Structure 1
Amino acid sequence: MREMSKGSNIGLTELSADTDAVVVSLRWTSASGDGDADVSVLLLDADGKVRSDADFFFYNNPAARDGSVQLLGKNPTDGGSEDRISIDLSAVPSGVERIVIAASQYGEAVFGSLDDLRVTVSDRAGEALLGFTITDAGVESAILFGELYRRGGEWKFRAIGQGYESGLAGLATDFGIVVDEETDEPAPEQLAEPAGPSPEVPGQRTASAPTADATAPAPAPAEQAGETAAPPADAVTPRRARGPRTAKKKVTLPKTAKPTLAENDAWRPSRLFPATSLKSDKEREVRATSLLLSVMAEVPEFGRRLTAGFGAPAGRMQTFVEVALPHGDAPKRPDGVIRVERAGKLWTALVETKTNGNPLRSEQVQSYMDIAARRGYEAVITLSNDVALDGHPLVEVKTDGRRKHKVALWHLSWAEVTHQAQMLIRHEGVGNSTHAWLLQELLHYLQHENSGCHGFQNMGPAWVPVRNGVETETLCQGDERALDVVISWEQLVRQVCLRLGGELGQKALPVQRTRRGVAPHERRESLADQLCEEGRLTSELRIEGTPGVLAIAADLRTGKLRTSIEIEAPQGSYPLPTVKRLIRALAEAPADLHVETLVADGKGPRGTLERLRPEPGDLLPKDGSPITGFRLSLFKGMGLARGNAESGFIRSVDAAVDRFHASVVTSVTALDRRSAPRPRKESVPTG
């Protein structure tokens, strides 16, 4: 990999023979685990300006219609997160001369508070070609990491590292984006209103997102896409800051189900993809593979969403199942094949699928890697209920370095497939109502109890002996079984984030607090030793738009799950009105919610919500210490079984997180937004 310095540039063809499509990754770390930023991409013409606001891609406009740019979302890394962007250079319009890669923070956050600011560019096989680390970030709230630009018929990369103190607004206007200064924040006179859950939460970012010209047509109302279950009543859909509009409408599922015509509840609606008749794991694998691949081919937004991160170009997709390919004495039959054609070139991936708890087999995946290398295919994609983790490969394969052709090995979990389907049909929208209906039918199949595609569903064989060892205090540090449980716990938490993100339409990521430079396996070994010593599994989730991180703790000694969140006390407010507003905001929260006052020099008063409702003043410190915040906690019995049964540990974690988020987090989020000071408007020059 070529290391770049600030201001340097290099041609991509000098680094790889296959640069028609690249993946750009932006990553950063934070010792506290709290750092975050949003990536953005701008397509510029020869004058250094966007051709229209549609050339600006960010969280509210994540993909180009022609497939040239697609934001792939965040992945957790040790101590931070990584944003990946798929750029199909062969699909970039001829009028685009530069592709600028940037990131911005919101609120008062600056990039100087983050470490290891780095951009890498990889080819379609996932091999890193170049990297650039920004070492001089300070008070900037937006940064240009680098740009891809045309020169002499080829694409080159330039390392920029330029910052903006004016944030997203300053960055956008420099490149011709019209910035809307309007805000959805409440007026000061609204701050005194009683707090409570709100069905619609305004966006949190202080820098307004760009808007298109006012003449652009507004998106049409969502069309009915077949009968579907309504989203949970307690689900909160955040209202993003307005972004670039497009003339093409996007269809999402209706928020309420159409009235049923059935005579009684026992009547089952007909389904395009029935799951009740499946009898064996082989049937489940064949059915799931065929359904997924067929919907990928028929719904371009969905197919592109799943394959862009694997280096596939934006083009015409066809999918196949049970294809016989020569290999030694007997042909091999991968579960599926994906082929994408663009400009006369083919991109091909073999697919190996597992359902239920069936593990991927290294020898089987190795044979497909060998076949793909000999036939000039680009990738092998494994698909199972396991969740891939950074630094923990699910299968071990060997690569023949003598072969010039590189084959990439990628993994996709069924939980991620479900997540992407939910994001499209519930939040972002697809091209037409038929596509929305197909995705809804696929989603119903994946979530059916008989499909075998429920995601991570077993804590593994080490769970019971580790749990027993904690109870009897016989589990010793260095026990490999404790490490296995820590890995399973991390997979479970990652899946919880995928599920919550799909339901809410918000980014949800695990927070991993670690020292700089600590490798993933070292961090997991440290957590395994902590499990042996304390008997607890702990994790934190950062959910976009919430005022704090959601903490989960599973105490194997007491058999209790604790979900909690810490929120800051409003600055400049009087203590008694502050605690009264908090108690009012928690009107719908469970009576057994524990509320604890946080003070600078130790722990403050605490009590259950049931006791505090008539006497909120009991939360005030007796010695008059200033209140820094509050900790809200719920306790729930922990499931013991290692599997995904109703009485299992996994179900109990899901239920605890759902209950806490619906009844507590949504309430304090609404309170936080009402209590926040209204941002001052600043004049922003337009390009």
Structure 2
Amino acid sequence: MYEMVKGANVGLATLSDNVDAVIVSLGWASPTGDGDADVSVLLLDGSGKVRSDADFYFYNHPVAADGSVHLLGKQPAGEGSEDRIGFDLTAVPAGIERVVIAASRYEGARFDELEDLRVTLADGSGEELLRFPIDDAGSVSAFIFGELYRRGEEWKFRAVGQGYDTGLAGLAMDFGVDIDDAADAADAADAADGVDGVEADDAGGEGAVGAGVESAVEVASPSPAPLVPPEGGEPLPAVPAPRRPEAQGEPRDAVRDEPRGEAGGEAGGQPRRAARPRTARRKVTLPKTARASLAENESWRPARMFPVSALKSDRDRETRATSVLLSVMAQVPEFGRRLTAGFGAPAGRMETFTEVSLPHGDTPRRPDGVLRVERAGKLWTALVETKTNGNALRTEQVQAYMDIAARRGYEAVVTLSNDVALEGSPLVEVKTDGRRKHKVALWHLSWAEVAHQAQMLIRHEGVGNSAHAWLLQELLHYLQHENSGCHGFQNMGAAWVPVRKGIDDETLCQGDPRALEVVESWERLIRQVCLGLGGELGQKVLPVRRARRGADPGERRARMADELCRDGRLHAEVLIEDAPGVLTVAADLRTGKLRTSIEVPAPEQGYPLNWVKRLVRRLAEAPADLHVETLVEGDGGGPRGTLERLRPEPADLLPKNGARITGFRLSLFKGMGSTRGNAETGFIRSVDDAVHRFHDGVVVHLDRPAARRSTTAAPAGAAG
């Protein structure tokens, strides 16, 4: 892998032959486990500016209509998280010369509070081509990691490493993005009533979405000094001079996209004022409240697009699940693109096939499915191997498909099963022939990930039309039906029972490989719980991985296995977007108890008695058996008690010795399932139920941190 330094550049074609589509990953770690940032992308023309605000992509405008840019979202990586961006370089418009890749922090946070900042770039086969580690980000709130740029017909990457004190608003303005003034931002916030800057359109009207961009920004700070190119390198682009946000009432110098169906003027010849900027396309989502059924009685069941009653064997389940999934991927472009963009597939016309026969020695092979995506006369192809009902992928079968794909020029092999892949620990070990010029990527999807993406689209982000929403709903119903066999991770493995028995008998020794198997299963379970909760909430829900900088994932799991042998406990932390703290899940195998908890920081101002009274009022609808503990400075613990006891006497939470209160820990305890499976009495079900109960019963009642503005840059016409 090519290691880069600040200011260096490299041609992508010199690193790989498969760079029509690339994945750029921005990564960081946080000592506290809850530090985060948001990625953004700007497409710049020859003038170094965006052509219009639609060339600015961020968390409220994540996908380009032409498929050239797709923000793929966050995923846990090593000791932190990684935000991935898919680029189809063949689809980037001809007038675009540079693609700036940046990230920003919010609520006063700075990049020097994060560790291990880095940017990596992988080709279409998933092989990492280059890495740019960043050690000197500085106390800035926005940061340009790097940029892709053209030199003739070739795409190159430059390691920029440049910060902005003015945050994403200042960065966006410097590149020509039109930012709403403070008054407009306040109006938008009032109209949206705090709903992430997006205003719902009436069924027949053309609504608008207003959003503020850190409305306190009045003057952009001077841009950083220009970078000095490395010896022999190409000259670096000049940074555009900063410009002030326009004064209230002044006309904007940028041309805004006119909303569909709007007339050019008003009666009396007075020109109509430009519509407010839209930060998201109008999309169709399912109504939150289901319509009343026309069934004669409750025993009637609605007809389904994908019936499951006739599924009797594993083969039937695999065949049906593959056909159902691939057909919906081909018919709902947003969904198909969501699942394949992370594999390096371009945005284009997708066709899917099942039960295809391909030659392989004396015996033809029949993969479960084939994906083919066509764009500009080029094909991206992948073989699909599916398992359901907890069946494991077979190494020899996947290896045969990898060999077939390499010989026939396929770009990837995609496996689907109930299992969840772990970082640095592939589900199937395959061998690759290094002599072959054509490389084949091996990717894995869990059925839980497929269901998560369907939930995000139909319940939160929306799709193009009601027919697509209905298809996704039918797919989701199929995946969640007990007969489908597509239930995600549902077995803690053969080591679960002997490890539990060894902990009870105190005979489990450190270094026992069975303990490592249980730790890996625990990590898969937590990842799946995050997918399920995130799909229901429409928010980012990620496991927190605390480890030494640059630590190998295997070493981290080995330490967790030793802790399990020593203490008899499994422990995980979950970061829920907009939650006031990190949710902790602990399973004590000695006592058979699950503990879910969250630490809420104490307010910076006010009186302690008012703090505890307000906390108890906020938890009026929380479970009576919720344990509340006061956190104080020093080693000593503070007062504690159940919510039932504290409701009439909140002052009991105040420390008697006057110690300074730093926060409060809220905990729920629940009996732990004993069996290794996903039945009602199983461990997996009990963990999932405990996390959902704690979120719905406790977290939803707590104060959220100060909400960031909907765009932290609200471009006009960002709907693209």
In the alignment, structure 1 residue 53 sits paired with structure 2 residue 53: yes
1:306: which partner in 2? 339
Separation of aligned partners in 2, 1:615 and 1:33: 34
Separation of aligned partners in 2, 1:56 and 1:202: 18
1:619 is displaced (CA, Å) by 0.5
Deviations 1:534-579 (A, max 9, x none): 1110000000111100000001111110000001011011111111
1:245 is displaced (CA, Å) by 3.2
1:521: which partner in 2? 554
In the alignment, structure 1 residue 179 sits paired with structure 2 residue 179: yes
Separation of aligned partners in 2, 1:276 and 1:502: 26
1:216 is displaced (CA, Å) by 5.0
1:299 is displaced (CA, Å) by 0.5
Please state whether the residue corresponding to 1:168 is helix, strand or coil: helix
Separation of aligned partners in 2, 1:336 and 1:686: 42
TM-score (norm 2): 0.86
Task: Please tell me whether the aligned partners of residues 583 and 616 of structure 1 are also in contact (alpha carbons under 8 angstroms).
Answer: yes
Deviations 1:210-260 (A, max 9, x none): 99988754999xxxxxxxxxxxxxxxxxxxxx98435x5311111111111
Q: Describe the shift of the 1:284–1:653 C-alpha distance in structure 2 as closer, same or farther (beyond 3 A).
A: same
Separation of aligned partners in 2, 1:271 and 1:326: 37
Separation of aligned partners in 2, 1:52 and 1:483: 52
Q: Describe the shift of the 1:184–1:120 C-alpha distance in structure 2 as closer, same or farther (beyond 3 A).
A: farther
Separation of aligned partners in 1, 2:160 and 2:324: 44
- Among 496, 500, 505, the residue aligned to 2:533: 500
Deviations 1:55-83 (A, max 9, x none): 11111111111111101111101210111
Separation of aligned partners in 2, 1:672 and 1:156: 42
Q: Describe the shift of the 1:251–1:396 C-alpha distance in structure 2 as closer, same or farther (beyond 3 A).
A: same
2:439: which partner in 1? 406
2:168: which partner in 1? 168
1:31 is displaced (CA, Å) by 3.3
Please report the RMSD computed on the Cα atoms of aligned residues, expressed in angstroms: 2.6
1:612: which partner in 2? 646
Q: Describe the shift of the 1:609–1:378 C-alpha distance in structure 2 as closer, same or farther (beyond 3 A).
A: same
Q: Describe the shift of the 1:685–1:508 C-alpha distance in structure 2 as closer, same or farther (beyond 3 A).
A: closer
In the alignment, structure 1 residue 128 sits paired with structure 2 residue 120: no
In structure 1, list runs of 5 or more residues that go unmatched: 188-198, 221-241
1:34 is displaced (CA, Å) by 2.4
Q: Describe the shift of the 1:113–1:331 C-alpha distance in structure 2 as closer, same or farther (beyond 3 A).
A: same
Task: Please tell me whether the aligned partners of residues 212 and 713 of structure 2 are also in contact (alpha carbons under 8 angstroms).
Answer: no
Separation of aligned partners in 2, 1:455 and 1:685: 39
Separation of aligned partners in 2, 1:495 and 1:201: 27
In the alignment, structure 1 residue 548 sits paired with structure 2 residue 584: no
In the alignment, structure 1 residue 467 sits paired with structure 2 residue 474: no
Please state whether the residue corresponding to 2:613 is helix, strand or coil: helix
Separation of aligned partners in 2, 1:200 and 1:582: 22
2:594: which partner in 1? 561
Write out aligned runs for 1:316-327 (5 A): 316-327=349-360
Q: Describe the shift of the 1:27–1:184 C-alpha distance in structure 2 as closer, same or farther (beyond 3 A).
A: farther
1:207: which partner in 2? 214
Q: Describe the shift of the 1:345–1:683 C-alpha distance in structure 2 as closer, same or farther (beyond 3 A).
A: closer
2:234: which partner in 1? none
Task: Please tell me whether the aligned partners of residues 357 and 364 of structure 2 are also in contact (alpha carbons under 8 angstroms).
Answer: yes
2:617: which partner in 1? 584
Separation of aligned partners in 2, 1:620 and 1:489: 37
TM-score (norm 1): 0.90
2:272: which partner in 1? none
Q: Describe the shift of the 1:104–1:556 C-alpha distance in structure 2 as closer, same or farther (beyond 3 A).
A: same
Separation of aligned partners in 2, 1:315 and 1:45: 24
Deviations 1:506-528 (A, max 9, x none): 00110111111321111101000
Separation of aligned partners in 2, 1:396 and 1:351: 17
1:155 is displaced (CA, Å) by 1.3
2:524: which partner in 1? 491
Separation of aligned partners in 1, 2:260 and 2:475: 29
- Among 243, 263, 279, the residue aligned to 2:312: 279
Separation of aligned partners in 2, 1:43 and 1:514: 36
- Could you tell me which amino acid in structure 1 is paired with residue 692 of structure 2? D
- Among 574, 598, 601, the residue aligned to 2:631: 598
2:323: which partner in 1? 290
Separation of aligned partners in 2, 1:684 and 1:654: 37
Task: Please tell me whether the aligned partners of residues 31 and 79 of structure 1 are also in contact (alpha carbons under 8 angstroms).
Answer: no
Deviations 1:573-602 (A, max 9, x none): 111111111000001100000000111122
Separation of aligned partners in 1, 2:213 and 2:54: 21
Separation of aligned partners in 2, 1:683 and 1:449: 44
1:19: which partner in 2? 19
Deviations 1:292-324 (A, max 9, x none): 000000000100110111111111110000000
1:685 is displaced (CA, Å) by 13
1:52 is displaced (CA, Å) by 1.9
Separation of aligned partners in 1, 2:713 and 2:432: 56
Q: Describe the shift of the 1:219–1:628 C-alpha distance in structure 2 as closer, same or farther (beyond 3 A).
A: farther
Write out aligned runs for 1:68-467 (5 A): 68-180=68-180, 181=182, 182=185, 207=214, 217=259, 244-245=278-279, 249-467=282-500
Q: Describe the shift of the 1:185–1:551 C-alpha distance in structure 2 as closer, same or farther (beyond 3 A).
A: farther
Separation of aligned partners in 1, 2:681 and 2:413: 37
Q: Describe the shift of the 1:527–1:45 C-alpha distance in structure 2 as closer, same or farther (beyond 3 A).
A: same
1:153 is displaced (CA, Å) by 2.2
1:173 is displaced (CA, Å) by 1.1
Please state whether the residue corresponding to 2:400 is helix, strand or coil: helix
- Could you tell me which amino acid in structure 1 is paired with residue 66 of structure 2? D
1:205 is displaced (CA, Å) by 10
Separation of aligned partners in 2, 1:263 and 1:7: 70
Separation of aligned partners in 2, 1:316 and 1:294: 13
1:239: which partner in 2? none
1:291 is displaced (CA, Å) by 0.4
In structure 2, list runs of 5 or more residues that go unmatched: 198-210, 218-244, 246-251, 263-275
1:663 is displaced (CA, Å) by 1.0
Which consecutive aligned stretches of 4+ in structure 1 deviate over 6 angstroms post-superposition?
Answer: 184-187, 203-206, 208-215, 682-687
Task: Please tell me whether the aligned partners of residues 571 and 584 of structure 2 are also in contact (alpha carbons under 8 angstroms).
Answer: yes
1:206 is displaced (CA, Å) by 8.1
Deviations 1:457-492 (A, max 9, x none): 000010111111111211111111110000000000
Task: Please tell me whether the aligned partners of residues 279 and 716 of structure 2 are also in contact (alpha carbons under 8 angstroms).
Answer: no
Q: Describe the shift of the 1:422–1:553 C-alpha distance in structure 2 as closer, same or farther (beyond 3 A).
A: same
- Could you tell me which amino acid in structure 1 is paired with residue 475 of structure 2? L
1:607 is displaced (CA, Å) by 0.5
Please state whether the residue corresponding to 2:155 is helix, strand or coil: strand
Separation of aligned partners in 1, 2:556 and 2:28: 17
- Could you tell me which amino acid in structure 1 is paired with residue 115 of structure 2? D
Separation of aligned partners in 2, 1:590 and 1:406: 55
Deviations 1:40-62 (A, max 9, x none): 11111211121222211111111
1:654: which partner in 2? 688
- Could you tell me which amino acid in structure 1 is paired with residue 420 of structure 2? V
Q: Describe the shift of the 1:207–1:109 C-alpha distance in structure 2 as closer, same or farther (beyond 3 A).
A: same
- Could you tell me which amino acid in structure 1 is paired with residue 294 of structure 2? L
- Could you tell me which amino acid in structure 2 is paired with residue 615 of structure 1? E
In the alignment, structure 1 residue 477 sits paired with structure 2 residue 510: yes
2:657: which partner in 1? 623
Q: Describe the shift of the 1:466–1:439 C-alpha distance in structure 2 as closer, same or farther (beyond 3 A).
A: same
Q: Describe the shift of the 1:219–1:306 C-alpha distance in structure 2 as closer, same or farther (beyond 3 A).
A: farther
Separation of aligned partners in 2, 1:356 and 1:119: 38
1:108 is displaced (CA, Å) by 2.1
- Could you tell me which amino acid in structure 1 is paired with residue 653 of structure 2? L
